[in-house]
Structures are given as structure tokens and as C-alpha cells.
Structure 1
Amino acid sequence: MPKSEGTYNSFMINFLIDRKYRVARHLLLILFFVFVSFNLPFLTCAVFLDQVDHMVWYISLALLVSYLGGVYLHLYVLLPELLLKNRYVLYTITVSLLIFLMILISLGADYGVTRYYDQEPTHYSYFYKDRIPAIEIAGNFFLYALLIAGTSITILLRRWMQFSKRKNELEKENLKTELESLKDQINPEFLFNMLDEAGEQTPNDPERASMVLMKLSKLLRYQLYDGKREKVLLISEISFIENFLDLAKVRYTGLNFTVTKEGKLSRKLVPPLLFIPFAIYYVKLLPSVSSPMDIHFTFRAGEKELFFSCICFAPGITDKDPENGRELEDIRHRLDLLFKESYTLDTVDEGTICRTNLYIKL
């Protein structure tokens, strides 16, 4: 079965950066320069090969040493000490001088071969009569520059991937920290008041106090355990809101609410404590414990989307606390972190009637 293109790409990247292929990479590099170093002098001697002796091997070896010396000097000294430390001007100057030195050695080897064997420069020689030295030097400069850059790709690619990995890890950690901070901000403040309420009602109405404590324990359990998970069942999130509003009704006697569920809610997963901020936001609008308020929640689940709607009617509301506006901004900020551009949130405030529509693409 043929491998996919992605498999080959993955192997090539691993071959270039993985330490277990280090020896193989260096062997390929050395073999390449062996081929180049021993090929160039023999090309220069192409028309008088019958006259060559051991000298051509010495010149080839000298070329090999100069090439490998220049490349490894760049890899292990110039690249880490200059380029990776942002000393760009010194790096450019030093590498340019190194390339010119390598070109001079190549020219010297070329000239030395023809002079040693007392022959006229051949077609493959830098000093062939039809060639222009300035163009040859400029062309070789760019060729050597590309060669040195190519041999540096392993280190540069590894450093880039390490930087990218660290950046992604930091972004995830910052996102996690920020989300946890926002979740802490939306913890219901009235839970402590509910404890006081249960304590006050215990002597007179123990059943009511028991109900309050049971609902309160469910809320706390959800916050302590499910609230720490990355995703929870949507139906569990809805139950949490219902328990919250049941408790809110104990304290706010004028509060009434309904929850409508449509679609396959039991199969949907959402971030925990996603919708409770809206319930808290509207309950906090009540000016007193006896003020009337009707809240209607709607949850509708599609194949790859989720629609949430909240309509609040509270005729007793006049002035709104600016703190509630900041809480709404915190809600929007958390949605930005969780869903980026995959959601729309619309809020309409018409005085005694407030509407919120949230559409999420899952």
C-alpha cells in the first residue's frame, strides 16, 4: 500500500531535525562534498587525464578540507554565536568573508592544477579564455551562499520548531489560566447566602432547609468536579442551571423560570459553566428579593451547532448596576477564548425586557 504524501513529509522533517538521524545527515553531507571536491579537479584535467598523478588527489583533499571546514565552522560557530544571537551585521560580514575564502581556495586549486601539469585552462576551468572572472566569482558566491544556507536548515528548522512548540504551550497555558480565572469570576455569590438561608429555616421548616442544602450540594459538586473538566454533557449543564434557579427562587420569591429543550441535547458536549453566567447576570438585575421576574431559557441542538436563547421580563427593574455590564463583557471574552469566530452573541436591552441569543458552531 503506497504511503501518503503526508507520511513522506513527516519522514523528511524527522530526518532533518531528529537526533537519531544525526549520523546519517552528516554522512550524506560529507559524501556530497567528497563528490564535489574530487570531481572538480578531474573536470579541470578532463582533456589530459592521461598525465595526472597523485597531485590531483592532494588538491582534491585540500578542497574537501576547505569545504567541510567552512561548512562546519558556519554550523557550530557562526550560526549559533552570531545569527542565533541576533548579531546580524557581524554574521553577514563573517559569512561573506568565509565564502570569499572558499572561492579563493577553489580558484587556487583550479589554477594550481593547470600550472602543475603545464596545461592551458580547459572549458571546465575558471580561467578558461571565454569566461569573465567577475561573473564567475559572483556566481560562485551565490552558489556557496545557497550551499551554506542549505546545510544550516537542520539547526534553523529545529530551533524554529522548538520555538513554535514552546509558543503554543505558553499560549495554551495562558488560555487555560485565563479561562480558569473567568470561571472563578462567575461562581454564584449567592451560594453563601443560601447557606445562611438554610441555617435560618432549619428550626422552622426543616424540609425546606433540607431541600436547599441538597440543591446547594449539587451545585457545589458540579462546580468542584465537572467545572474542572474540559467538556461536560450539555444536559448536565442545563441541570446545573435548573438547580441554580430553584435555589434562586428560595431567596427571590418573585422569580419564575422555564427551560425549553429541543434536539439531541444529551449527545452534545460543551465547556463547563458556559451558560450559568447568563442566569446569574439576570438574577442580579433584581432590585429586591420580592421583585417579579420571568426568565425563559431555550436550548436547541442541531447536528453541528447549538442555539441558546434567554428572554427576561422584569417590570421592577429601573436602573442597572454597571458591574453587571462588566460581567457581560467577561462572558463575551470567555466565548472569544473558547470559540474565537465560531459563535455569535446578541444582547438586546429594552428596559423591562432583555433578550440574549447565542449561536455556537460546534
Structure 2
Amino acid sequence: MKEAKQTPIEDLADLRTYFASHNVIREHIAHSSKVHSVGWSCDGKRLASGSYDKSVVTFTLERNRLVSEFIFKLGYTLKHTGSVDQLCWHASHPDLLSTASGDKSVRIWDTRSHKCAATIATKGENINIAWSPNGSTIAVGNKEDLVSFIDTKTYKVVVEEQFNFEVNEISWNNTSDLFYLTNGLGCVHILTYPSLELQTVLKAHPGTCICIEHDPTGRYFATGSADALVSLWDVNELACLRVFSRLEWPVRTLSFSFDGRLLASGSEDHIIDIGDTETGEKVAEIPVLASTFTVAWHPSRYLVAFACEDKELPERKRDAGNLKLWGLPNNS
């Protein structure tokens, strides 16, 4: 069963007051090299991270702490033979996790048994992955701009689409019938699924469009760009509602809170920006010491998991491979 959702806070002043008293950062050792991706299970009970060290690590969330799922201090470790560049959970099955790797495979993990349920060979080194909200299809993109669509009943690639432009990140709409991708020309391409007919191309940014994220309520999607801007879009009207411009470096990762009210944006800036989707104003910021690779709001709480390009102290030569939680009460 999913956890009961935290009651949304509607007033902007109240949100700022809440985060003034819930701004503790807790760090957890997870990997031996940089963390590329973090994500919460749909019930919010588990957090997974994927790393350049070829491993996926899962933790359980107990109260305000991450607890390892196995006897190892690193939690329960699932292995690829190449870098794990991105991961995503099933939208309604809290035990199923998918990972995309540079080893030219996609793997489906059953976190109850800590075993690989399926390995799907792909044609290239994979860099992004997205599981459709209805659970029927996994899309995976590789470095050669080929996107493969995997049927999750047969675990077979059912269609491939080769694009003639740089594909940076992929996403589904909340009803799984539209497929979005960002490209190096600052555009968002929207295709119907399963026909993969091009519906429209949005010129979203003057610079490379790096990342895209849909909000859980189905109202918005957001794009982040090399121009350091974040654009918020109305899903139905395909109109840009507002632009967040507080960052100074290319925006590499985005995540919406469970209520769609807050948008976290990470870059090479030494903050993660937390913006209000209704007004565009800053609600809070998370201080960081290095570039942020990945950020993920909890599916039912005002709690953020993230990972940066941290280095081990004191030499600061090796990648630390840690993940962090923010939004914990100050007295925790």
C-alpha cells in the first residue's frame, strides 16, 4: 500500500515557513563512484540509485532515514557490466525497477527477491529510460539517438525509432499515449504512441534542451536547457506558462513534488532551486558543493533525494558516490 500523502501546503508563505524548519540534509554512502540517477518506488518506501560503478543500490525509507536492505553497508547491490546511467520504477508496482546501462542492456529487477527478472539486449550504449505510466512499455534511448520500445509482457523490443538529431531525454505523458523527447536544437518532439506519429515540435529553448519531466497531477511538464532556463508548460494547451531563471549553468535534472506545486532544478550551480509552479517564485534552495546529476521528489512527501559530483575528503580526487536527502525536520 502507498503511504498516505502529506497534506499539500497551498499558501506560498506557509511553504517557505515549512522548509525553513525542514531543511536538514542527510548523506548516505551508496557507491564507489559518481551517482547518475536516483528514484523512488511508487509507494515511497524504497529509494534506488544507479552509478558509474556499474551497480544499482536500493534502500528502504524508515521514518526519516534510509536503511540498507541487506547486510552490506551499501544496501542491496544489483549489478550491470557497464555504467548505470538512468533508472525508473514501475508506476504502480512498487517492487519493479528498470535500469539502462552502457553495457547495451536494459534490466528489470524484482526488489523483493533482489534478482534480475529480465535482461533485454539493446543495440547501443543506453543513456536514458522511461517506463510508461500504464506499465506496458519501457522506452530506452542510446548514445546513437536510437529509441527502443520494450513490451513488458514479453520483455522484447517491439519497435525502434532512429532519430536524425541529438536525443537528450525522453518522457511519457500521464496517460501513456504521447511520447516526448528533447533534442540538441532546443526542441521538444511529441509523438503519439504506439503509432509514433509526430504530433508537434515545440521550440522550447534557444539552447540545447537537456531534460524533461511531467508532473504527477498531469497538469504540467517542464524542460531544462543549456541556456540555464527551466520552462514550465501546460500539458493540454502546449503553452509555456512561465520560465525559471535563477540558475546560471545548464539545467541537467528536474523533478516535481507529488502535488505538482514545487519544481526542483539541478545544474552545475551550487544550489538546487525549488520553485513554485503557480507563481514561478523561489520557495527554497538546497545548498550543494558540486554539480547536481539527479534529483527526485518523494511521491507523497516534501522530501528530495539527490546526488552530486562530490569528491571524497580530504584529497577530493576520487568520486564519493553518495546520495542525499533534503527536507527533513530540523530536529530529526
Bin of the TM-score, shorter chain as denominator length: under 0.3
Asked which structure has the greater RCO (Cα within 8 Å, sep 6+), the reply is: 2
TM-score by length of 1: 0.19
TM-score by length of 2: 0.20
Which structure has the bigger radius of gyration? 1
1 or 2, which has the higher helix percentage?
Answer: 1
1 or 2, which has the higher strand percentage?
Answer: 2
